[in-house]
Amino acid sequence: MILVTGGAGFIGANFVLDWLKHHDEPVVNLDKLTYAGNRDNLAALANDSRHHFVQGDIGDTALIAELLTTHRPRAVLNFAAESHVDRSIHGPSDFIETNIVGTFRLLESVRQYWLGLDAAGREAFRFLHVSTDEVYGSLEREDAPFAETHPYQPNSPYSASKAASDHLVRAWHHTYGLPVLTTNCSNNYGPYQFPEKLIPLMIANALAGKALPIYGDGQNVRDWLYVGDHCTAIRRVLEAGSLGETYNVGGWNEKPNIEIVHTICALLDELRPRADGKSYREQITFVTDRPGHDRRYAIDARKIERELGWRPAETFETGIRKTIAWYLAHQDWVERVSSGAYRDWLATNYAHRS
């Protein structure tokens, strides 16, 4: 049994689906179901007895203690977080609450549980914390990509809250001996990503005939990884990572935002041409920049490649094609999450606890 937090969000849901494809080991999935959490993402598991969903908060110490003592997981994987940089700029308090205080409370509950295990259980146990490359701050064009030794220099309320959580995880290992692993991954894309993030937002807006808003000059660079490859990396780190270590995860896929949007437009022009025969590029609009917008992220993934033999299966070209095909085939999903209608849908399709 493993306990996954945030498993109704984008990466967490992909991870749970992927895990149950590769293992028979059951998953307890704890998720608060914020605006970003959606049980619709897990509909394929509705009749799968290996998946046990619980609605709740990682900061709810009593609930976590109950789940740990009832299910006795051999690992806890923490995906739960507030994850959107723009939201963190407009309202940081949920980010502090979940990403910092929530992670602290989760660590404490897990530590109590871990201390109560027998020696073999303590030895085998893992706490895997899922984090981001944004904790390292911003790179200039000529800088080398982020290695695990790069200093933490977070610039947004989101990245500062994730950096704080990474430090707590590190300290719980160093001080209390909790067997932790941390992954710092680059920008993910793929199915089930909430259409507030660059790639799904651009696909949804293009199809809806809306503007494609590019912040600043469009030359900010992100390093993109297909979500399935991130899930494989997390499984590999859980299986073979060295305790207390951090692993940077990325696919050596740096691209300026404008190039990403041009690629999306070109693929949509091919797969779902506009009725007027013009390119979706016509919808691109340059808008005011994000405050404190990090210029460039890039991941040096040599440690996970060398030590754990992990390699991404997708290139950006194959991954983005798959992603666009998924969004084209699931426009109802986009409509439901954008309108909030999935809350009604899930109320009639699921009880909150199962």
Tell me the torsion sign for CA atoms 300, 303, 306, 312: negative
Q: What angle do CA 312, 295, 78 make, to 5 degrees?
A: 50
Residue 326 interacts with, from ligand NAD, ligand TDX, none (CB under 5-8 Å by kind):
none
Residue 300 within binding range of ligand NAD, rule CB under 6 A: no
Residues binding ligand TDX (CB under 6 A): 83-85, 132, 134, 187, 197-198, 201, 213-215, 220, 222, 257, 290
Write out the binding residues for ligand NAD, residues 64-93 only, by CB under 6 A. Answer: 79-83
Residue 37 interacts with, from ligand NAD, ligand TDX, none (CB under 5-8 Å by kind):
ligand NAD
Q: Considering the complex, what minimum distance in angstroms separates the CB of residue 269 from ligand NAD?
A: 26
Please indicate whether residue 245 is annotated as part of the active site.
Answer: no
- Nearest CA to 76 out of 183, 223, 180, 211 is that of 180
Q: Considering the complex, what minimum distance in angstroms separates the CB of residue 220 from ligand TDX?
A: 4
List, in order, residues 6 or more apart from 260 with CB less than 8 Å away: 198, 199, 202, 222, 224
Q: What are the CA-CA distances from residue 336 to residues 16, 40, 188 (Å)?
A: 21, 9, 22
Residue 85 interacts with, from ligand NAD, ligand TDX, none (CB under 5-8 Å by kind):
ligand TDX
In which residue are the tokens 């691109």 written? 284
* CA R_g for the chain: 20
Choice between 82 and 300, CB closer to ligand NAD? 82
Choice between 52 and 222, CB closer to ligand TDX? 222
Please indicate whether residue 247 is annotated as part of the active site.
Answer: no
List, in order, residues 6 or more apart from 12 with CB less than 8 Å away: 4, 5, 6, 29, 31, 79, 80
Q: Considering the complex, what minimum distance in angstroms separates the CB of residue 167 from ligand NAD?
A: 14
Residue 178 backbone dihedrals phi, psi, to 5 degrees? -60, 130
Residue 58 within binding range of ligand NAD, rule CB under 6 A: yes
Q: How far is CA 74 from its chain centroid?
A: 22
Cβ-contact 177, 114 below 8 angstroms: no
Q: Considering the complex, what minimum distance in angstroms separates the CB of residue 238 from ligand NAD?
A: 15
The number of CA neighbours under 13 Å toward the Cβ of 106 is 32
Which range of residues in 53-61, 207-215, 289-297, 326-334 is near ligand NAD by CB under 6 A? 53-61
Which range of residues in 129-137, 172-180, 279-287, 343-351 is near ligand NAD by CB under 6 A? 129-137
Question: Considering only residues 2, 3, 4, 6, which one is a binding residue for ligand NAD as defined by CB under 6 A?
Answer: 6
The two three-digit tokens of residue 333, written as one number: 């999903």
Collapsed DSSP state (helix, strand, coil) of residue 187: strand
The two three-digit tokens of residue 329, written as one number: 């085939």
Residue 80 interacts with, from ligand NAD, ligand TDX, none (CB under 5-8 Å by kind):
ligand NAD
Residues of this chain that interact with ligand NAD (CB under 6 A) are: 5-6, 8-12, 31-34, 36-37, 57-59, 79-83, 98, 102, 130-132, 162, 185, 187-188, 194
Catalytically active residues, by annotation:
133-134, 158
